[in-house]
Structure 1
Amino acid sequence: MTRLLLLTLALLGTSAFAQPADHLVTHVDCQGYIAGCDEDFFQTELDFARFVRDPSDAAVTVRLVSEDTGGGGERVTLLFEGRRGSLRGRRDTLVTSTPAGASQDAQRRALLSRLGLGLVGFAGRTGLADRLSVAYDAPSAETEEAAPASDPWNSWVFQTSAQGFFDGQSQIASSSMYGSFSASRVTEAFKVSITPYANYNRTSFELPREDGTDSTIVSDNGSYGIGFDAVKSLDAHWSAGARASLYRNTFSNIDASASVGPALEYNLYSFAESTQRQLRFSYSPGVRVVAYQDTTLFLKTQEVLGQHQLAVAAEFAQPWGSVDVNASAFQYLAADRFDKYRLTLGGGVDLRVVRGLSVRLDGRYSFVRDQIGLRASDATDGEILTRQFELATGYSYYASVGLSYSFGSIFNQVVNPRLD
């Protein structure tokens, strides 16, 4: 009986890994969210490939990692790796870019082009080679002549956005509006960005009274400001720059705040490897001038403060999953503010635990000791419930945990969108 059970398990394991002779079995892993990564579309367009859910079932795995470009678009790196038979150990890397404002169809077709091109290099080493052909779209003379010889914008990119959200019912109404504008110039040696923004939130509550009338409670707060960043690439690991900001935030009792300071960063790995791994250490000292709307708990209406921050960030995109974790320590440097600081740890981890099982962890925890702008006056019950003002706290956090498990047929990749 035991031998029969072991034989059955062995046969099941073998069938799970069997590779069809008429397709290249492929697993595509989009690390995080990547615009245009549409596996249903890939399956219908690449006839010679068959896509599976788990990388352990694939002859070829493809990891997609994206980065923002200086022009506001997206650059995606496709990392190919052979895992079985004659393909084992074979690797390739391809890159594609889409401009800012590209449609979803343009994004997925750009990925499809590089995905197909990369997979053909693997399929050509299998029995599929005799059924593959090569096509080339030659550019027309008009297209070549129309290509600009230089960039009239000198790498400067400008973006603007505005959003509004409104919802309500008979006793509650809320609205939120946000707008921003950015001007940035990004090159391999230097990058600079200037970003003004504005945000406003309002919520009103109608509370019935015993005498039949209604009492209205309104919570509104807003913030607006401008940020400036400039970074110089010193070598493959070191960067230096400066940061400045000017803003107002009614929720945090800030009438006006201005800060400026230098910044230094070191990446343990070369920035050329940024799509696969980063371990960055940064230090940012500075000075801040702040004026408060109301007198603070420390009986201040304005003050000048020194401050500094040390931060560590780790980002890894590997076959076993992805990691994006950061930690920071912030402290004020004024003589009577050395005990005002904040420690923060946060990020996300996406791991493949065993075959078919993935775990996603996200969160952030802050040990809070830097609330120097709290109002001296007590908040009313209504202001507390509607979160109109920042309240004293010793910590803040959020966390999420997600599990995903799949099993069954590894080859059923039929696309049928009826009644979706």
Structure 2
Amino acid sequence: MQSALRVFLDCQGGVRGCDRTFFVQEMGYVNWVRDRFDSDVHLLLTSLNAANGGRQITVNFLGQKNYAGKMDTLVVTTLPNDADDVVRRNLLRTFQLGLAPFVARTPIATRLRVGLMNGVTAPTLNARSAKDRWNLWLYRVDGNINASGEQLVKTTNLSTSLSAARTTEQWKINIGGTGSYNERDFKVFVPNATTPTKRDTVSVVVLQRASNVNALFGRTINAHWTAGLKVSGGFSEVLNQKLAMRLSPAIEYNYFPWSEATRRQLTALYYVGPNHYRYYNSTVFNQIAETRFNHTMLLALTQRQKWGNTNLTLEGSQYLHDPNRNHVTLSGFVDLRLGRGFSLNFRGSASRVRDQIYIAANAQSERDILTQRQQLQTNFRYNVNVGVGYTFGSIYNTIVNQRFGNLGELGRRFGSFGG
């Protein structure tokens, strides 16, 4: 339909339930285009964690071309156990409502109908008015077992986590604990002790275990400022830490009001406090136990706009007993939509590392280095990814054809394109 409204769907950050194929099938009275520069309405979806464990999805209706300057915003809140079909149908209903004023200005407006289901609506409950026997607390328990192997290598991973959270407009409380067990079994061929021309198989087992408990308490001061406290304790064989305990008062400032958090954030976070360590092996600084103060500053910029999105973080920490023991990391990603069908993205991080006071003094064996049984000493870390993409062709083809949609593991080499 050349006269129908042209809509571009933009689900940034992998919004749950954003099923373009489903929306194309259910809303055939609009043209779903593949590029925002061809659209009359740009649907920009962003999401944040909700206090109930679900997500708060913000749908921005941004008018373009003949609809420039016309915009609206609607919000969908999901429950943590909502099925994907429930989420996408709630989004579908929201799209239909939000696009109605735009469709009303097209030639097909005479065929548009809006009404109420069964003629009634249910009152909306909020956290203040609802009687909640859990007093706004949300609990979660997770466990995971993963095993993989082949003839010479076997891997077993076990992990578990428990968490409790309570969120109000004034308070944010998160309490949790995690545990992990990683075992890798390598079969290594070595010369036979009596007959060197023969080889024996020796099993080499590498274990990595860790556990951690933590708590975060945050108190809203005003639209920009938040104060809090971070507490944690645990152990890690990889980091040579038999015991690690931390206590850090924190303060956070957001340049933009938190009401705009789904679209943009510019935050500065600072925390300082003592850290107590006990080590499995004496460190390179000849310590078997120590208590050190450190402080950390973190600057973060997050934007989700119709031209793309950015997420940049600059973090620096320093031990107060020795300013030379510090750590600086710059990380993030930038995803730009520069023109019709053309996209450019950067992702990566770079760290200057000079705070590994936990490194064991004893020389690491070749086996430890190859299996990364313990954290290796380093002065820097980095990773970089640059991507570019260009799509061209029909902007109106929204036909859905799922045939040959499952090619199996070996068939994935053929890839996929289109519907």
TM-score under structure 1 length normalisation: 0.91
Question: Equivalents in 2 of 1:274, 1:248: separation in Å?
Answer: 35
| Correspondences of 1:5-404 after superposition (within 5 Å) | 20-21=2-3, 23-85=4-66, 87-138=67-118, 149-211=130-192, 212-334=199-321, 337-404=322-389
Aligned residues of 2:266 and 2:299 also touching (Cα < 8 A): yes
Deviation track 1:262-294 (CA, whole Å, cap 9, x = no partner) reads: 100111111111011110011101111111111
Q: CA deviation at 1:140?
A: 7.0
Question: Equivalents in 2 of 1:224, 1:419: separation in Å?
Answer: 45
Aligned residues of 1:217 and 1:382 also touching (Cα < 8 A): no
Q: Secondary structure at the match of 1:287?
A: strand
Question: Equivalents in 1 of 2:87, 2:112: separation in Å?
Answer: 25
Taking a change above 3 Å as real, the CA distance of residues 145 and 171 of structure 1, as seen in their structure-2 partners, is closer
Deviation track 1:183-237 (CA, whole Å, cap 9, x = no partner) reads: 0001111110101110111111111123221122222111101010011111111
Aligned residues of 1:267 and 1:279 also touching (Cα < 8 A): yes
Question: Equivalents in 2 of 1:33, 1:349: separation in Å?
Answer: 15
Moved over 4 A (4+): 138-141, 143-149
Question: Equivalents in 2 of 1:295, 1:343: separation in Å?
Answer: 25
Question: Equivalents in 2 of 1:127, 1:196: separation in Å?
Answer: 58
**% same residue:** 32
Q: How large is the Cα RMSD of the aligned pairs?
A: 1.8
Aligned residues of 2:185 and 2:203 also touching (Cα < 8 A): yes
Deviation track 1:281-333 (CA, whole Å, cap 9, x = no partner) reads: 11101111111111111110000111100110000011110001111100111
Q: Secondary structure at the match of 1:209?
A: strand
64-73 vs 120-129, which moves further: 120-129
308-317 vs 113-122, which moves further: 113-122
Q: CA deviation at 1:157?
A: 0.3
Q: CA deviation at 1:149?
A: 4.3
Structure 2 equivalent of residue 4 of structure 1? none
Question: Equivalents in 1 of 2:349, 2:176: separation in Å?
Answer: 25
Q: Secondary structure at the match of 1:164?
A: strand
Aligned residues of 1:70 and 1:186 also touching (Cα < 8 A): yes
Structure 1's unaligned 5+ residue stretches are: 1-18
Deviation track 1:243-274 (CA, whole Å, cap 9, x = no partner) reads: 00001010000000111021001111111110
TM-score under structure 2 length normalisation: 0.92
Matched, 1:408 2:388: no
What is the count of residue pairs matched by the alignment?
397
Q: Secondary structure at the match of 1:89?
A: coil
Deviation track 1:108-134 (CA, whole Å, cap 9, x = no partner) reads: 111111111111121112222111001
Structure 1 equivalent of residue 196 of structure 2? none
Q: CA deviation at 1:400?
A: 2.1
Taking a change above 3 Å as real, the CA distance of residues 79 and 281 of structure 1, as seen in their structure-2 partners, is same
Q: Secondary structure at the match of 1:117?
A: helix
